[in-house]
Amino acid sequence: MKIALVVSERATCRRHSVGAIIVKDKVILATGYNGAPKGAKDCLELGCLRDKLGIPSGQRNEICRAAHAEQNAIIQSAGGLGSTNGATMYCTHSPCNVCAKMM
């Protein structure tokens, strides 16, 4: 869990810093934090669109630039060290419904 907290420090979301790691047999298969997809400009650079529009936390997530930490960890694991079957994901926050379904 401490590693997930360290990973969360890389988050590029102005609202929340979330980290996730996927572990299997004591080996970290992937890490993820909430932020814009690789190569895209993030909220630290462009500002938070949801803040600009006055949208409360937890609403209208579809207009957010960032992918969730859990999503980024799952994406990263696709090109990683092996199967995630039987792996465990550790997250610094409770997952949203969409991320829980993906897990």
How wide is the angle at C-alpha 85 spanned by C-alphas 90 and 39, nearest 5°?
60
Number of domains in the chain: 1
Respond yes or no: is residue 45 known to be catalytic. Answer: no
CA 82 to chain centre: 20
Q: What is the pLDDT along the chain (103 residues), one digit of tens a residue?
A: 899 999 999 999 888 899 999 999 999 999 999 998 888 888 888 888 888 899 988 788 888 888 999 999 999 888 766 788 899 999 999 998 888 998 8
Q: How far is CA 47 from CA 3, 14, 19, 44, in A?
A: 27, 8, 20, 6
* Domain that includes residue 58, residue range: 2-102
| CATH label of the domain that carries residue 83 | 3.40.140.10
Q: What CA–CA distance (Å, rounded) separates 84 from 47?
A: 34
Q: What pTM, to 2 d.p., does this model score?
A: 0.85
